[in-house]
Amino acid sequence: MPKYSPVTRVITIEFRPVDNPRNGVEVVVTPEYAVVRSGDTIQWNVQGLPAKATVTVGNFTAFGEASNVKVISGNVKFRKPDGMKDEKLRLVRGAHTYELKKTDLGTYKYDVMVDGKIVYDPDIEIRGPRG
């Protein structure tokens, strides 16, 4: 069976003009529930951003176990999961990018913020690599 080759998964954050309210926009995140593989890279692509606005993603929150149990030489060790952390988020060629190396599997919620205000809270599920 071939070894899994990590890829870049793109999540699009789109600002679409609406008629009501006047000069308003709606925020659409595609996919709203992203399924990615361990080792992949996530890149957020922002489209239609209003002038002078700044979009950021962050505030990653894990849904799942509070700790992992590992048995080494008969001794039980507890370890806090190494979830998604805001400090691992990088700006690469103007796009927010997150490499999922050494990130625990599971489901995470994150925030899409415009000028520091939360406008959307989609989910990411990290699964193990195929192989």
CA distances from 51 to 9, 28, 54, 90, 128 (A): 26, 17, 9, 22, 39
In the three-class reduction of DSSP (H, G, I as helix; E, B as strand; rest coil), residue 86 is classed as helix
- The predicted structure's pLDDT at residue 21: 85
> Strands 75-79 and 68-72, how do they pair?
antiparallel
Tell if the pTM clears 0.75, that is, is over it: yes
* CATH code that applies to domain 8-127: 2.60.40
- The predicted structure's pLDDT at residue 81: 67
As given in the structure block, the two tokens for residue 119 are 């406008």
- The residue extents of the domains of the chain are 8-127
Answer yes or no: are the C-beta atoms of 106 and 125 closer than 8 Å: yes
Reported as a single tens digit per residue, the pLDDT across 68-105 is 677 778 888 776 667 788 999 999 988 999 999 888 88
The per-residue pLDDT string of the chain (131 residues; one tens digit each, 9 = 90 and over) reads: 678 889 999 999 999 999 888 888 899 999 999 999 999 999 999 999 888 899 999 999 988 665 667 777 888 877 666 778 899 999 998 899 999 988 888 899 999 999 999 999 999 999 987 65
